[in-house]
Structure 1
Amino acid sequence: MQQHPTRFLNQVALLLFAGLALVLSTVSIADEMPPAVAWDKINNGAIIIDVRTEQEFAAGHLDGAINIPFELVLKQLTKQKIDKDTAIVLYCRSGRRSGIANNDLVEAGFTQTYNGGGFEQLIAHQ
């Protein structure tokens, strides 16, 4: 069964649009994590959580950061009874894992969380 050419072109256009939207959303995510905002929060006493692996953390991390793998952040903060209004800055290598952890916290009702993005970007803007 052969597909109508117009329908095929519409599907191709939709896929291209979806790909472009994904690229643009990745760019906007990076733009939404200015290191200066993270450092302002850190300098004002925010808890700093490095959501990378133990090995990544051991290779270098921000002073004062605690290491909690991204998939365990919500569980650990809940277990430690951290107030949901506590200022928290999360970071990882690129901002992706910290973004996932940040979303989990926001969905659970945390109100002062911030995805600080990538470790290297934070260090470069210290």
Structure 2
Amino acid sequence: MKLFFLSFTLLFLFFSCSQNKALHITEFSRKNTNNAILIDVRTPIEYAEGHLENAKNINWFDKNFEEQVKSLDKEETIYVYCKAGGRSAKAQQKLLDMGYKNVINLEGGYLAFMAK
């Protein structure tokens, strides 16, 4: 019985720790995240058409994406967003796989932000 509870607890911890964090972009407030890094993973053309204030553009499709993000502090909170949410979810997972500790996907993307 103890083994069952121990196994259950370890399984619960594994899945709760491995879940990706997300926040809908309409709930994002730059005022509350002054020490965080904000990354727009859209293309430079999309970025030039409009972006969140103080967002750094690191194109998900760029072959040097991993090299570009290596300069970021792995201990800082990083928010990522794209046009609708697909690329930012992939970028979030890539950053987590690279050892970044706190990466938050801004769900809905720039389209949802502009629609609000």
Name the amino acid aligned to 1:112.
Answer: N
Could you tell me which of 79, 97, 100 is aligned with 1:89?
A: 79
Confirm or deny: 8 A CA contact 2:39 2:55 kept in the other structure: yes
Shift of 1:52: 0.4
Name the amino acid aligned to 1:121.
Answer: A
State whether structure 2 residue 20 is matched by structure 1 residue 53.
no
The answer to which structure, 1 or 2, has the higher relative contact order (CA under 8 A, 6+ apart) is 2
Taking structure 2 as the reference length, the TM-score comes to 0.67
The CA distance in 1 between the partners of 2:65 and 2:29, in whole Å, is: 22
| Structure 2 unmatched runs, 5+ | 1-19
The CA distance in 2 between the partners of 1:58 and 1:116, in whole Å, is: 19
CA RMSD after TM alignment: 2.3
Q: Percent identity?
A: 34
Taking structure 1 as the reference length, the TM-score comes to 0.62
Shift of 1:124: 4.3
Name the amino acid aligned to 2:67.
Answer: K
Counterpart of 2:111? 120
| Structure 1 unmatched runs, 5+ | 1-28
The SS at the match of 1:69 is coil
Shift of 1:77: 1.9
Larger-gyration structure (1/2): 1
Shift of 1:50: 0.5
Confirm or deny: 8 A CA contact 1:73 1:101 kept in the other structure: no
The CA distance in 2 between the partners of 1:90 and 1:115, in whole Å, is: 5
Q: 1:104 to 1:122 in 2, by over 3 A?
A: same
Name the amino acid aligned to 2:33.
Answer: N
Q: How many corresponding residue pairs? A: 92
